Homo-oligomer: A and B are copies of this chain.
């Protein structure tokens, strides 16, 4: 029996991390939009791989140029901007049947001068980075919003008890510990007519409130609380995924120095860390694999 032929499988290509900044100067009060955009095309690119024939290879440089040119009209929400790119590339080149567009958005706040927000001077808000992904698969459009790097910590009302013990278990149970994580979340919209900016602000708030509100029996339980709060409040969101490190804060043993330590002095460890990942979904609503392919871990 002959060996099966060696063939090209799934593939995509494009320009990554195009750092586009758009200033809107319609009035003295400027607006700023600051994105990091990646464009990747899918379709019939076999000849480029197999035969060195680039007739289908829309240059990554062209993809970059297109991002800048489209920004001239304003960016708006990152989701809407990526949808514009998706529609453009899939409609402009017959062999481009889909693709993946991704953005990070960085937030800026106005500097306060004399008690007033300044017209054109900004300080970057260093909390979470907003993320967006649009996957085009033929005429399908999957829109996934998200955030990453939202670092939260609660100083009490978190524990970890009742877990199974085996030969390798040394961890003591506790009903009072620090719980800290960097929230990374992505949620998929079930329908197209969404106010993406308003939804983002709401999801962010719900996630923070769910983290703060309840006793945490484990980061798993807190994760699900976050997801449930989002899905209950947002019918337009089909599912939400989280990837969250458990950033360990260990109580330092001060007894050798003649000191007590009633959960007051902690050592914040880097590695290893726990890593909790899960999807919260609506029963019976299928999650399209195409939407999530290529996303690291769960986020």
- Chain A contacts to B: CB under 8 angstroms: 3-25, 30, 32, 34, 38, 40, 45, 48-62, 64-66, 68-69, 71-72, 92-93, 108, 111-114, 118, 120-128, 149-157, 160-171, 178, 205, 208-209, 211-213, 217-218, 220-221, 223-224, 227-228, 231-232, 235, 239, 241, 245-246, 249, 252, 254, 256-259, 261-285, 287, 289, 294-298
The count of identical subunits is: 4
Given contacts A25-B263, A221-B49, contact A30 B164 (CB under 8 A): no
Interface contact A273-B211, CB-CB below 8 Å: no
Interface contact B59-A171, CB-CB below 8 Å: yes
Question: Nearest chain-B residue to A265 (Cβ)?
Answer: B71
Interface contact A23-B272, CB-CB below 8 Å: no
Interface contact A55-B164, CB-CB below 8 Å: yes
A124 to B223, CA, bound (A): 18
A208 to B55, CA, bound (A): 27
Residues of chain B contacted by A30 (CB below 8 angstroms): 155-156
Residues of chain B contacted by A287 (CB below 8 angstroms): 9
Interface contact B283-A4, CB-CB below 8 Å: yes
Given contacts A49-B223, A217-B54, contact A111 B212 (CB under 8 A): yes
**6 closest cross-chain pairs (CB), A and B:** A126-B126, A296-B296, A52-B217, A9-B279, A121-B212, A11-B278
Residues of chain B contacted by A4 (CB below 8 angstroms): 282-285
Residues of chain B contacted by A16 (CB below 8 angstroms): 245, 271-275
Q: Which of B51, B128, B224, B274 contacts A60 (CB 8 A)?
A: B274
A249 to B270, CA, bound (A): 15
Interface contact B21-A249, CB-CB below 8 Å: yes
A200 to B171, CA, bound (A): 37
